Chain A
Amino acid sequence: MQIIKDNQLCDNAWQFIADDADLPAGDISVSFNKWQQAETQLLNHEGKLGVRIGSADAIASIASDLDKIALVELDFPDFADGRLFSSAWLLRSRYGYQGEIRAIGHFMPDQVFYLSRVGVNAFAPAKADYLPMILANLADFTVQYQASVNNA
């Protein structure tokens, strides 16, 4: 499926690998647990690495690994769970993460403007129908009251 990245529609080059599956070649992302348990094995993998973060996962515990991580997926269990907004902010502002931060799962197309302001730069929505909405909604506001990671 296609995703939105840096304000553009593009193909998804990443593959998420379940905790008990073998690691295929290419760019892969794994769960937060898998990352913590199998970091050494993962670092020998040929291809780029990503980590999938849930809303209860503590960003601080991967802070020192961020230079090895090219993608952080923020997996929304539900659009009302706003913890991942803080997770994104922490990644970009506190830990200076430069890689891709991608919202996945059950976020709303109407949340992407806020998500972009806390540092999310890619969106893989639950439904393909949402892709054009996301592109449009990223431009919802031209002004803001708070500093954000993309204008601070």
Chain B
Amino acid sequence: MYQYNLVDQTLVDERVAQFRRQTKQFLKGEISEDQFRALRLRNGLYIQTHAPMLRIAVPYGLLSSQQLRKIAHIGRTYDRDYCHLTTRQNIQFNWPKLEQVPDILAELASVQMHAIQTSGNCMRNTTSDHLAGVAVDEIEDPRPYCEIIRQWTTLHPEFDYLPRKFKIAVSGALHDRAATQFHDIGVHLVKNAAGETGFKILVGGGLGRTPIIGQVIKPYLERQHLLSYLEAILRIYNLFGRRDNKYKARIKILVKETGLEEFSRQVEEEWLLIRDTMLLSDERINAIKGHFQAPAYQADAAEETSFNQHLQNDTAFATWYKHNTAAHKVAGYRAVFVSLKAPDVPPGDMTGLQVDAVADLADQYSFGEIRSTHRQNLIFADVKQADLYPLWQQLTALALATPNIGTVTDIICCPGLDFCSLANAGSIGITKEINEALDDMDYIHDLGDIKINISGCMNGCAHQSVGHIGILGVDKKGAEWYQLTLGGSSENEAAIGERLGPAVAKDEVTNAITTILDVYVKQRMDDESFLDMVKRVGIDPFKEQVYANH
């Protein structure tokens, strides 16, 4: 993974010193609440319902075991000994003390981490495919380009006060696991006819209140022009994005109101003026690629087949293997999901003990690296098949092996009303209830690939509008109600879920979900997936049953 040089280290150290001063000046009353708000947000610090919340950047989801141990240490020392994984592959602490945040940031800087631009109206953490570098369907590893983008976005002097937040995702594979069509900018690695790597650039996608699927603005961009093209888009957005209404300030609205054709023309005109002044050299790209070399895979890893015996003899292991591991481009290796979706735990939460243990397991089994996923789980990307059984046993002991990856209980869930000051309704409680109702693992596995996403408000942090089943908390005269949508997807066949009907009351949500699942089980054809069935029959059969008794 990327290792800081002196420039990177100096930059994060100086950022810590800057924020220490800003915090001190704020506490002494020398800078206003309003000003400090903008400054703390750009260092990941929110003021929430109960306490500040600190969001730490995990660039494109990649972490070392040393960094993970630091996270555990911070949780123990400054927080309540747990942390939370977000849908931007980041890590949040829910109970830090404002005056201690500079110390936390200094701890992070000591392991090449930071919280820069994890909130605020600026360029956010660049996200990517959680299987980057190991996926069987990969065109090229996107991580070097993510790192190049990370550096370019970090402390960019011109674009730190944008109309609204700005998110970039990069995918290097045929299957889009990074939801690139729902980002302000989506970058796809593609090859041209000559076999050279370049980029397809999408713009204007986004979730939140007005979900919009991104459109292709540049079908093929030579790789040397990556940063100049991003800069051209950002300059047009910074100058012309709406600032009169924060709900219309994302680039998706600018693209929609300007029209893709005219917007593209403006970007192209800007780009032609700058592209030759900021070329990305092959030397630079290769130097960054050098940080993402494949680890020392064992050449004979596929020959060790004891795990086949375990698969035959131990159904629990076989079930976990089927659901919680993924194919790897190197024979004899698998990528292993660490499920943070145990039935009795808020999705994405981990205790300090679990974090430390995962760090140890990464050292033992996966070259000391871990990835976070945008569905709020972790991955050991490079596990030898011979190690799968002992790894599974240890994950089981840690309650991190619930075999539910990609199933109906692998729910994306925001912190909701329990923690977040923006929320209209609870989300963690709904997740818990759904888990309690769906306690039969065989039934869950029979349902197959179903993604439920639950957000406690319109801001849609849990991406409910692209859930196969989306659940959105709304406030109705002071009571918590929930709007259901069906048929959303953030993958290749991107789609925004369709509203099922009127919002349902809190105590009816779980019943509505189990009813939807029953309709699917009864009416699916052969091995048709939930999403395929919704596409085939539409929402009416589900609607009839869910609202049958009303």
Contacts and interface: CB of A to CB of B under 8 A. Distances in A.
A118 B158 contact: yes
B162 to A, nearest CB: 6
Contacts of A141: 11, 14-15, 18, 155
Nearest to B150: A145
A145 B161 CA distance: 17
A146 B273 contact: no
A145 B38 contact: no
A52 interface: no
Interface in B387-426: none
Interface string A80-120: 11110110010000100000000000001111011101100
A110 B157 contact: no
B154 interface: yes
B158 A85 contact: yes
A110 B14 contact: no
B10 A142 contact: yes
Contacts of A143: 7, 10-11, 14
A145 B11 contact: yes
B385 to A, nearest CB: 40
Contact of B161 (A79, A117, A152): A79
Nearest to A149: B157
A79 B243 CA distance: 12
Contact of B273 (A86, A94, A117): A94
Most chain B beta carbons < 10 A, residue from A86, A142, A148: A86
B382 interface: no
Interface of B: 7, 10-11, 14-15, 18, 22, 25, 30-31, 35, 38-39, 121, 151-152, 154-163, 235, 238-239, 243, 273, 277-278
Given A94-B273, A110-B31, A145-B151, A86 B158 contact: yes
A82 B161 contact: yes
A146 B231 CA distance: 11
Contact of B14 (A80, A129, A133, A142): A142
B156 A146 contact: yes
Given A80-B38, A86-B235, A110-B22, A148 B11 contact: no
- Chain A interface mostly: loop
Interface of A: 79-83, 85-86, 89, 94, 108-111, 113-115, 117-118, 129, 133, 140-148, 152
Nearest to A58: B239
Nearest to B14: A141
B251 to A, nearest CB: 14
Nearest to A108: B35
Most chain A beta carbons < 10 A, residue from B39, B151, B161, B273: B161
Contacts, number: 85
A108 B38 CA distance: 10
A19 B455 CA distance: 52
A142 B35 CA distance: 23
B157 A118 contact: yes
Most chain B beta carbons < 10 A, residue from A83, A114, A146: A146
27 contacts: A79-B161, A82-B121, A82-B158, A82-B160, A82-B161, A82-B162, A82-B238, A83-B243, A85-B157, A85-B238, A86-B235, A86-B238, A89-B235, A94-B273, A109-B31, A114-B160, A129-B30, A140-B14, A140-B18, A141-B11, A142-B10, A143-B7, A143-B11, A144-B157, A145-B7, A145-B152, A146-B156
A112 to B, nearest CB: 11
A133 B31 CA distance: 10
A117 B25 CA distance: 23
Contact of B239 (A86, A110, A152): A86
Nearest to A77: B243
Nearest to B42: A110
Contacts of A81: 161, 243
A145 B151 CA distance: 6
A148 B163 CA distance: 22
Given A114-B160, A145-B11, A146-B152, 10 more contacts: A80-B38, A82-B121, A82-B158, A82-B162, A85-B157, A86-B238, A86-B239, A114-B157, A140-B18, A144-B11
Contacts of B159: 82, 85
B157 A148 contact: yes
A114 B161 CA distance: 10
A147 B278 contact: yes
B17 to A, nearest CB: 8
Nearest to B235: A86
A140 B12 CA distance: 11
